[in-house]
């Protein structure tokens, strides 16, 4: 990929994010997709990956902001090749996506966290379970990536952070960028006495779940807030969605937030190397994400594919905030099954060609193989 092509695609995705934010509001039911689909303003230099199977019809999705940027790129590329397909996706947060799927306002949900019992029950009911059909909602891994700590601190481009230090920052116990704990993580680096402004998600977020699960696993007693999609934050500022938190940090001197690598790249913000359980500071890259997922376990006890990430992996090459993100559909009873199968098959195959340039990573081979088989079985 030429540098000019990479930059053009990144700029294009910025336009897609803006247009995609409006898409879900126009979607009223399973049968209708919103008119706010990606526009030609997001055109990229170079050739889009080739879709092997085109399907027709309309479908809308919403939820995870973790997968938002690559979803919008997949949609644009798929629609360019498959003229009979109309797709839309809005990054509303994992919690909102699961709720929207359960109440039938989207055809698929994006989520970085598993369906809870109540969410599963609502989603199963939407799919027709209880009417003698046996239909239920299923999770399918769709891509992998990294949550990163991105920050606004002029002159500091190579920040390193350990889990206890990150915990102290977001619990409001470390308040200055020249604090001893941050200096210990960054020997020899000139750190300013700038006030730290931590920014967290205000919405029900799978990224918050990833971030807090990592701290629960790696920060020890320094982290006291537990894990989940929402937390009882002691202070700091908040933003809605990954775009909201990233935009806030871009505007706040001394700001720091957790977000997806793709949002840090799109906003030209630096992101810290994170200390893993092996004691190494590792940057988020495709290779380090793959290493971070190498020890992940697959749980199939729910009748679908759920990946259990080892945030405390002792692999020296592992990036500890690596994660898998899912699409949620019905196993059967989807009103637009052919289109969902065609689009998700494209994402898991040819669509992986844009992983690296947009800040994502391919799923581990065994998980990708299982995901492709599960997509093929959707009806």
Contact 378, 355 (CB under 8 A): no
146-290 has the same fold as 3-144+326-377: yes
Q: May I ask the CATH architecture of the domain 146-290?
A: 3-Layer(aba) Sandwich (3.40)
Which class does domain 3-144+326-377 fall in?
Answer: alpha beta
Mean pLDDT of residues grouped by 10 in the chain (379 residues)?
A: 44 47 34 31 43 88 96 97 96 96 97 96 90 86 97 95 98 98 97 98 96 97 97 96 95 97 94 98 96 95 96 97 97 95 97 94 95 96
> Which residues fall within 8 angstroms of residue 121, CB to CB, at 6 or more apart?
none
Domain extent listing, the chain: 3-144+326-377, 146-290
> Which residues fall within 8 angstroms of residue 138, CB to CB, at 6 or more apart?
303, 304, 305, 328, 329, 330, 331, 374
Give CA 166 to chain center in angstroms.
20
pTM for the model stands at: 0.85
CA angle, residues 104, 91, 157, in degrees to nearest 5: 160
């Amino acid at each position: 990929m030429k540098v000019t092509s990479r930059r053009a695609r990144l700029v294009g995705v910025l336009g897609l994010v803006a247009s995609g934010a409006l898409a879900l509001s126009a979607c009223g039911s399973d049968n209708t997709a919103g008119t706010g689909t990606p526009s030609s303003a997001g055109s990229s230099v170079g050739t889009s990956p080739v879709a092997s199977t085109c399907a027709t019809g309309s479908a809308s999705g919403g939820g995870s902001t973790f997968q938002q940027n690559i979803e919008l790129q997949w949609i644009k590329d798929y629609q360019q090749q498959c003229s009979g397909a109309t797709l839309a996706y809005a990054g509303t947060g994992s919690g909102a996506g699961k709720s929207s799927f359960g109440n039938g306002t989207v055809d698929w949900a994006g989520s970085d966290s598993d369906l809870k019992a109540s969410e599963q029950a609502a989603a199963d009911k939407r799919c027709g379970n209880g009417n003698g059909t046996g239909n239920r909602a299923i999770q399918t891994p769709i891509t992998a990536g990294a949550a990163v700590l991105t920050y606004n601190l002029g002159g500091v481009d190579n920040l390193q952070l350990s889990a206890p230090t990150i915990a102290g920052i977001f619990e409001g116990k470390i308040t200055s960028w020249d604090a001893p704990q941050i200096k210990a993580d960054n020997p020899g680096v000139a750190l300013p006495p700038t006030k730290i402004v931590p920014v967290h998600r205000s919405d029900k977020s799978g990224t918050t779940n990833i971030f807090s699960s990592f701290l629960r696993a790696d920060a020890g007693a320094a982290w006291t807030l537990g894990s989940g999609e929402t937390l009882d934050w002691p202070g700091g500022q908040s933003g809605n969605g990954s775009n909201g938190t990233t935009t806030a940090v871009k505007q706040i001197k001394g700001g720091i937030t957790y977000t997806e690598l793709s949002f840090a790249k799109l906003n030209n913000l630096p992101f810290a190397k994170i200390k893993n359980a092996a004691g190494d500071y590792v940057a988020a890259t495709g290779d380090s994400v793959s290493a971070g997922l190498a020890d992940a376990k697959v749980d199939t006890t729910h009748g679908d594919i759920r990946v259990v990430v080892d945030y405390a992996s002792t692999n020296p090459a592992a990036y500890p905030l690596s994660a898998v993100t899912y699409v949620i559909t019905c196993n059967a009873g989807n009103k637009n099954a052919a289109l969902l199968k065609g689009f998700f098959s494209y994402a898991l195959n040819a669509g992986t060609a844009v992983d690296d340039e947009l800040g994502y990573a391919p799923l581990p081979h065994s998980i990708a193989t299982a995901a492709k088989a599960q997509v093929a079985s959707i009806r």
